Structure 1
Amino acid sequence: MSIEDLSEKEKSKIIDYIKNDENLPKEYIYKLFSDDEDVFLFWNGRNEEPTNIVLPFHSIEHIDEPRKEKIEGSGELFDNRGRQIEGWTNKLIWGDNKLILSSLVNGPIREQIEDQGGLKLIYIDPPFAVGADFSFSIDLNGEDITKQQSIVEEIAYRDTWGRGVSSYLNMMYERLKIMYDLLATNGSIYVHCDWRLDSYLKLLLDEIFSSNYRGEIIWKKDAVGKGAKKNADHWPKTFDKIYCYSKTDNYTFNFLGADLTEKQLKEFRYEDPDGRKFKRTTLGDYSDESIKKMEKQNLIYTSSSGKKYKKYYLDEYTIQQDSLWMDIPGFGVATASKERVGYPTQKPEEILERILEVSSNQGNLVADFFCGSGTLPAVAEKKNRKWIAADLGRFAIHTTRKRMIDVQRALKEKGEDYRAFQLLNLGKYERQHFFGVPTNVSEEKQQQILEVKQEKYISLILEGYSAIKVDGYKYLHGKRATRFVHVGPLNIPVTRDLVESVYQECKDDIITQVDILGFEFEMGLAPFVEEQMKDKGVDIRLKNIPREVFDPRAVEKGQVKFFDVAYLDADTEVDGKEVHVTLSNFVTSYTQDDIEEVENNLRKGSSKIVIESGEIIKVTKEGDGIYNRESLTNSWTDWIDYWAVDFNYESNKEIIKVEEDGELKEKWTGNYIFENEWQSFRTKQDNELELTSAPHEYKEPGRYKIMVKVVDILGVDTSQVFEVKVDG
C-alpha cells in the first residue's frame, strides 16, 4: 500500500497527527511503510540507518610475549620457546560495541581486516535477560566480595531494556546490521540466545540476512538430565538456541562426522566382488526408472530370492554432527575446570570449538563483540584463528586479557606458535563524541569547538559532582561543601604544572581544600601530590571523572561516583645491564558502598562485605545497634589482581590514523604503547602473586624508563614510570 491507496479521510487524519506533533497510530504506520510486503517487521523506534561514525582507536597495550624468564641451569638468559606469528595482531577492544563496530566498518582498520581475507565468522552471546546483573565475585582471604557492575554497564542495560522488548530490538538491530556489513561475503554469524528472546532475534536475523538461514543448534545445558521439580508448572527451560546465518550462498561449512558404533558397523555385512562392504535397505517407493538408474550406478543389491535392495557403502558412510548438542555440560563451566575464570555468563570452550571448526578455517579472522570472559578469542588462539573481541565491561576486558596471556603461555610451553594481541579503546575520542566534538577535523578546529563549549562542559561536570559553580577565579570552577573544585580538561591529562597553578591560586586566596577532577592524569602525579604537596597548607585531592557523567539519568539519580586516584610504588634493582622490579606499595581510596547505610539495612545475625575508602570490610549485625567490622584487606597486596612491566617505556610511540578534512593522516598522539614484557596475576586456580619480576637485560648502557602497571581486584588500572641508569 502507498499513500495513494489511502482514503481522503485517512490522509486528513495523518496530516492532523503530523501538524500536532503526535505519534502516528500503528495502523497508519503499517499502511504507509508496508512496501508491498505481505509481512513487515516493525517496532517502536525502529531505525533503518545504523550509525556510521568513525572514531580513532587508541592502542593502550601490546602483548607479544607472555613473559620473559631466566632459564635455570642453562646459559640462556631468556626462554625463547614458542614463536610469535608475524603479521596480523589480534585486537581486544574496550568500549560501546556500536561505536566500535561503526569505527571498524568505516575506519582504517577495515583495510587491515580485508587484507586478512575479511571477517569470516562472528559469534555473539548478547545479553538476553531483562535487568541482567553483571556484577562479579572476588575471593579475598576466604570471603566472597561482590563487585557491582559499573554505572556505564547499568546505563547500557537501561538503554537496552528502557522500553522493554522494543528498545532491546533497537539495540540488536543496529548492531546486527553493522555486523552484516563487516562480514566477508563468504562469512557466517552465530547468535547465542535463550527462551526469553530467541523468537525476536530470529525475526531480526531473517530480515537482515534475508534467506541465508543455515540452521540452529539446540544446546541442552543440563547434559546429565536432572529433570524438573515435582511441583513444576512448566516444561523445564534446559536448552539454549544458537542461530546460524551466512551472508551469501557462498560460505564455509566443514562437515563434522562421527565414527560408527560397533552395532552400526555390524550392519555392513555384505560385500561386492571387489571386497567393498555395504549394508542393504528396502527400496520403498522408488520408481522403476529410479531403480534402473541406481542399477547402472551399482547401488542395487538383488538377493537370492530376487528381491531388490538399496546399497549403502561403508567407505561413504558416516554420521554427521547433530544440531542437538547434549554432550556439553552447562549451567556455568564446571567449578573444577581449568578454563573456569569466574565470569557469570561464561560458556564452555567446546561449544566454540565446534562452531569454529565448522564455519572457519585455520588462519581465518573471527570476532565476538560481546566477548564477556573471552571464550571465543581463547579458542580461536588455540585453533590458529585470528580474532577481534570487544566488550563494554572493564572487568570483561581484564578477564579476557589474563585468559589470553594464559593461552599464550600454554602455547609457548608446548613450543607452538601464537599471535600478539593489543588492547584498544576509543579514549578521549569517545569523550569528545559524547560532548559533540567531531574527530574528523584538525586539532586546531577541535580545540576551537571545545573552547566554545567550555562553560557547558564545566557545568556538566560540576553537576555530576554535586558542586555549585563559583565565579571570580581563574582555576577554581566550583565548590562542594567546604572544598573548592577544579575541572580538568576533556581531552588531555591533568599535569603537574596545572596542579601547581591550582595550588598557587588556593594559596593566594587562603583556600585550604581543593578537589582536582580529571579523566586522565600525568604519570606520577598522585604520588607527587601525596608526597610533595601534602604539607604546604592546601589539601589537594585528585579525583577520576567517570564516563557516566555524560549520562543525564545517572547524574539526576546521583549515581555518578568520583574516586580518588590510586597510586603505586616499586623498587628497581640494577646489576650491570640487568634490572628487576619489585612492587612495593599500592594505595587506593575506592568506595563502592556506604557502610552506615549497609549496617542500617542488616538483619540481626547477618553480614555483608562493603568497600569504602580503600578498605574491604565485613560488617556483621550482632544485636540492636551493635555491629562488628572486620577488615579483610590485611595488606596492600590484597588489592592487587595483576601487575605488569614495560622495561623500556617510550620505545614505541602510539601512532594512529585519523581523518582530517577528508584526508587520512598518521599522527603521534603524544602517548606511548605499553609493551607488556612481564606480568604476574591471580587466577581461580592459582591465587599466588609474585612481587618481583624476572631480570631484564638491556643491550646498551643508558637511561631507561620502566612503566609498572597494576590492575586491582576491581579491574581498575594504575600506572607509574620509574627511571633507571644502566652502566653495562
Structure 2
Amino acid sequence: MINPVLLKQSNLLKIMVNQLYYGDNLEVLRRYIKDESVDLCYIDPPFNSKRNYNQIYNNIGSEDKAQAQAFIDTWEWDDHAIHGIEEIITNYHGLFTQQCIDLIIGLRNVLGKGSLLAYLVSMTLRITEIHRVLKPTGSFYLHCDPNASHYLKLVLDAVFCAKVGSFRNEIVWIYSRMAAKNQKQLSKCHDIIFWYSKSEKWVFNVDEIRLPYAETSKARAGYKKTNLGGGKPKSEICELNEGGKFPEDWINIPFIRGKEYLGYPTQKPEGLLERIIKASSNENDIVLDAYCGCGTTVAVSQKLDRKWIGIDITYQSISLILRRLEDSFGKGVLDTIKLHGIPKDIESATALANKADDRTRKEFEKWAILTYTNNRAIINTKKGSDQGVDGIAYFQGNQNEPEKIIFQVKSGKVKPGDIRDLIGTMTLENASIAIFITLENPTKDMIKTAKSAGFYQSQYMSQSCDKIQIVTVQDIIENQKRLNIRLSLEVVKSAEKQKEVKVNQMELDLDI
C-alpha cells in the first residue's frame, strides 16, 4: 500500500521545480545551471535602446552611471569588459570555440574598445554558457533589434555552428508603429529573433502553432482541375490541413495593450512567447530565460505547464515577476518557486548594500522597499534631486482619495537629523505617512523624533499608526515584518475580482 504522506511529499517535490535567480546571469549560469539540463532557452537582452546606434558604433558620448531604470541597458568599456575579453582570448577553462576567439579579436580590431564591443563580449560569454546548458535536442531563441542582429548572428554561428549546431530560422516579429512627425526614413516596425538548435535533432511541434487559413485561401484551394485517364478535366476538393496552415518565419502580433501591459519598457506580448514555447518544447520541459525582465517567458511557461528557470539582475524585475505570477495564478504559485540570491540574513543584506558597482547601487533600496511592501510599492527611478524619496505607495484616505506613503532607505550611519529631514520631505511631498528603512539600528533620539511627528488615523484602519515609522532590515528579514496598510492597488484589484465573480455567477445562472 502506498503511504499517502510520502506520495504527497513526492508530488510536492515534482511541483516545486521552478527557479528564480536574482543576480548576474553569467555567474548564475556558471554556478547553478547544469550541463545539458535545459530544453529551450529564449532571451531578449537589452541593447542600448535609449541611445543612438551611430553614437555606440563610433564610441561617442558618455555613459550615465547613475542610471536607475527598471532594466540595465548600459554598456561601457570597463573592468567587466576587459575581464570578459581576456577570458575569451585566453580560452578560459576551454569554453570557447576557436571561431569565437577569432571573431572577438577581429571585432576588437574593427570596432575598437567601446560600448559596442563591450556588449558583444558580454553576449559571447553568456551565449557560450547557454549552449552548454542546452540539452542535445534543445533550441535557443535570441530576440534582438536590427541594430545589433548582424553582429549577434556572427556570435551565434561561432558558438553553435562550430559545435554541430544549426541555424534554423531568422524570425521577423512584425508590429505597427505610428510615424514620428517629420520622419525622414522608413518606420521601424519589426524585431529579429534568431532560432538555433544545438544539434540536428530538435523539437518542432508544428501542429501546436498552425495558423488559420484566410477565407480567400480556402476558396482558392476548394477545388482543383484534374485529368484522369485522358478524359475530360474533373473538379475535386483539395483537402486542407484541419489544424491550419504551416506557419511562416514572420509573426504579426501587435504591441501589448490593455491589462497585459505592466509598464515595463521592453515587455513582449504573451502571444509571441506562446508561439515559441509551444513550437520548441513539450509539457514538463525546462524553459530558461536568462534576461527575464517582467517575466513574460516565465508566465507563459507556467500557463503551458512547462518548468522554468528565470534570471534577472534587478530586484525590481524579480518583484514584478512574483507579483505577476501571484495575480495570474494565485498566491499558491509562490510556494512552487525556489528563490535564489535574495538576502536571507543580515550578512547578505549588508553585502548587497555595499556593492561598489554603479549598475547595482540602488538594488539594496529596491529590495528593502519591495520586500517590506510585498512587492506593492513603486520604486522612484527619477534622476536628479528626489528629496530623499526612494519609493512611493498609495492608500485610501478618509476623503476616499488616494493618500501617499513615502519610503526612504539608508544603509550607512543614521542619526536624528535623518528623521527631521524626512519630516520636511513628507511635507514637501504632501505625504500622510513616511517609512524609514535602515540597515543600522536607530538611536533612541531617532525614535523620539519620529514619535514627535504624531499619529495617522483613517476610517479604513482598525487602529492609528505613527506618521513616521522606522523599520530595520533585521525586522524585515528575521521577524518578517511587512507593511500592514491596505494599498489602493489592492482595493482596485479586490473590486475587479468581485466584479469578475459576479459576471461568472451570472453566466452560470444563465446556463442553468
TM-score for both structures, normalised by structure 1: 0.42
Change over 3 Å in CA distance of 1:253–1:681 after alignment to 2: farther
Match of 2:306 among 357, 378, 385: 385
Change over 3 Å in CA distance of 1:616–1:238 after alignment to 2: farther
- 1:149 paired to 2:68: yes
Q: How many Å apart are 1:259 and its aligned residue?
A: 3.3
Q: How many Å apart are 1:319 and its aligned residue?
A: 1.3
Indicate the residue corresponding to 1:634 in structure 2.
432
Match of 1:207 among 158, 161, 166: 158
Q: How many Å apart are 1:356 and its aligned residue?
A: 0.6
One-letter amino acid of the counterpart of residue 423, structure 1: L
Q: How many Å apart are 1:408 and its aligned residue?
A: 2.4
Indicate the residue corresponding to 2:95 in structure 1.
none
Change over 3 Å in CA distance of 1:156–1:304 after alignment to 2: same
Change over 3 Å in CA distance of 1:324–1:385 after alignment to 2: same
Q: How many Å apart are 1:84 and its aligned residue?
A: 6.2
Q: Match of 2:19, SS? A: strand
Q: Match of 1:172, SS? A: helix
- 1:121 paired to 2:12: no
Change over 3 Å in CA distance of 1:214–1:152 after alignment to 2: closer
Quote the Cα distance in structure 2 between the aligned partners of 1:317 and 1:520.
53
Indicate the residue corresponding to 1:177 in structure 2.
128
Q: How many Å apart are 1:98 and its aligned residue?
A: 0.7
Q: Match of 2:204, SS? A: coil
Task: Please say if residues 97 and 391 of structure 1, whose CA atoms lie closer than 8 Å, have aligned partners that are also in contact.
Answer: yes
Match of 1:165 among 85, 96, 116: 116
Match of 2:319 among 379, 391, 398: 398
Q: How many Å apart are 1:407 and its aligned residue?
A: 2.6
Indicate the residue corresponding to 1:546 in structure 2.
353
One-letter amino acid of the counterpart of residue 254, structure 2: P
Which structure features the higher share of helix residues? 2
Indicate the residue corresponding to 1:324 in structure 2.
250
Indicate the residue corresponding to 1:196 in structure 2.
147
Quote the Cα distance in structure 2 between the aligned partners of 1:315 and 1:564.
52
Q: How many Å apart are 1:258 and its aligned residue?
A: 2.5
Q: Match of 1:320, SS? A: coil
Q: Match of 1:231, SS? A: coil
Q: How many Å apart are 1:164 and its aligned residue?
A: 2.1
Task: Please say if residues 377 and 389 of structure 1, whose CA atoms lie closer than 8 Å, have aligned partners that are also in contact.
Answer: yes
- 1:250 paired to 2:250: no
Match of 1:302 among 228, 234, 245: 228
Change over 3 Å in CA distance of 1:562–1:122 after alignment to 2: closer
1:8-87 matches, cutoff 5 A: 86-87=14-15
Task: Please say if residues 365 and 386 of structure 1, whose CA atoms lie closer than 8 Å, have aligned partners that are also in contact.
Answer: yes
> Larger radius of gyration, structure 1 or 2?
1
- 1:352 paired to 2:273: yes
Indicate the residue corresponding to 1:420 in structure 2.
336
Q: Match of 1:548, SS? A: coil
Aligned length: 366
Change over 3 Å in CA distance of 1:184–1:634 after alignment to 2: same
Match of 2:184 among 233, 237, 240: 233
Deviations 1:242-267 (A, max 9, x none): 11111011111111222334433334
Quote the Cα distance in structure 1 between the aligned partners of 2:189 and 2:366.
45
Change over 3 Å in CA distance of 1:231–1:131 after alignment to 2: closer
Indicate the residue corresponding to 1:444 in structure 2.
none
Quote the Cα distance in structure 1 between the aligned partners of 2:138 and 2:367.
45
Task: Please say if residues 88 and 386 of structure 1, whose CA atoms lie closer than 8 Å, have aligned partners that are also in contact.
Answer: no
Quote the Cα distance in structure 2 between the aligned partners of 1:632 and 1:360.
52
Deviations 1:37-81 (A, max 9, x none): xxxxxxxxxxxxxxxxxxxxxxxxxxxxxxxxxxxxxxxxxxxxx
Indicate the residue corresponding to 1:95 in structure 2.
23
Which structure features the higher share of strand residues? 1
Q: How many Å apart are 1:306 and its aligned residue?
A: 5.5
Q: How many Å apart are 1:338 and its aligned residue?
A: 2.1
One-letter amino acid of the counterpart of residue 68, structure 2: Q
Quote the Cα distance in structure 2 between the aligned partners of 1:679 and 1:339.
28
Q: How many Å apart are 1:324 and its aligned residue?
A: 1.8
Q: How many Å apart are 1:323 and its aligned residue?
A: 2.1
Task: Please say if residues 347 and 375 of structure 1, whose CA atoms lie closer than 8 Å, have aligned partners that are also in contact.
Answer: yes
Quote the Cα distance in structure 1 between the aligned partners of 2:270 and 2:13.
23
Task: Please say if residues 563 and 591 of structure 1, whose CA atoms lie closer than 8 Å, have aligned partners that are also in contact.
Answer: no
One-letter amino acid of the counterpart of residue 174, structure 2: K
Deviations 1:277-301 (A, max 9, x none): xx34xxxxxxxxxxxxxxxxxxx64
One-letter amino acid of the counterpart of residue 219, structure 2: K
Q: How many Å apart are 1:241 and its aligned residue?
A: 0.8
Change over 3 Å in CA distance of 1:128–1:617 after alignment to 2: farther
One-letter amino acid of the counterpart of residue 149, structure 1: A
Q: How many Å apart are 1:403 and its aligned residue?
A: 1.0
Q: How many Å apart are 1:684 and its aligned residue?
A: 6.7
Deviations 1:314-344 (A, max 9, x none): 4589411222222x212xx22xx22222221
Indicate the residue corresponding to 2:282 in structure 1.
361
One-letter amino acid of the counterpart of residue 244, structure 1: W
Q: Match of 1:302, SS? A: coil
Change over 3 Å in CA distance of 1:87–1:205 after alignment to 2: same
Q: How many Å apart are 1:121 and its aligned residue?
A: 0.5
Change over 3 Å in CA distance of 1:397–1:314 after alignment to 2: closer
Task: Please say if residues 76 and 114 of structure 2, whose CA atoms lie closer than 8 Å, have aligned partners that are also in contact.
Answer: no
1:574-593 matches, cutoff 5 A: none
One-letter amino acid of the counterpart of residue 263, structure 1: T
Quote the Cα distance in structure 2 between the aligned partners of 1:322 and 1:683.
45
One-letter amino acid of the counterpart of residue 420, structure 1: T
Indicate the residue corresponding to 2:293 in structure 1.
372
Deviations 1:360-407 (A, max 9, x none): 111111010000001111111011000000000110111111112223
Task: Please say if residues 173 and 204 of structure 1, whose CA atoms lie closer than 8 Å, have aligned partners that are also in contact.
Answer: yes
Match of 1:313 among 239, 248, 258: 239
Quote the Cα distance in structure 2 between the aligned partners of 1:170 and 1:258.
38
Quote the Cα distance in structure 2 between the aligned partners of 1:158 and 1:366.
32
Deviations 1:185-233 (A, max 9, x none): 10101111112101111111112110511102211121xx64x457322
One-letter amino acid of the counterpart of residue 324, structure 1: W
Task: Please say if residues 402 and 681 of structure 1, whose CA atoms lie closer than 8 Å, have aligned partners that are also in contact.
Answer: no
Q: Which moved more, 1:629-638 or 1:95-104?
A: 629-638
Quote the Cα distance in structure 1 between the aligned partners of 2:142 and 2:433.
44
Task: Please say if residues 341 and 684 of structure 1, whose CA atoms lie closer than 8 Å, have aligned partners that are also in contact.
Answer: no
- Mark the runs of 5 or more structure 1 residues left unpaired by the alignment: 1-82, 134-146, 271-278, 281-299, 429-491, 495-518, 522-543, 571-581, 599-609, 620-627, 640-671, 691-728
Quote the Cα distance in structure 1 between the aligned partners of 2:367 and 2:293.
27
Quote the Cα distance in structure 2 between the aligned partners of 1:637 and 1:262.
60
Deviations 1:387-436 (A, max 9, x none): 000000110111111112223219x7xxxx997002101869xxxxxxxx
One-letter amino acid of the counterpart of residue 178, structure 1: E
Quote the Cα distance in structure 2 between the aligned partners of 1:378 and 1:564.
22
Q: How many Å apart are 1:548 and its aligned residue?
A: 3.1
Change over 3 Å in CA distance of 1:268–1:257 after alignment to 2: same
Indicate the residue corresponding to 2:213 in structure 1.
260
Task: Please say if residues 362 and 385 of structure 1, whose CA atoms lie closer than 8 Å, have aligned partners that are also in contact.
Answer: yes
Quote the Cα distance in structure 2 between the aligned partners of 1:352 and 1:186.
19
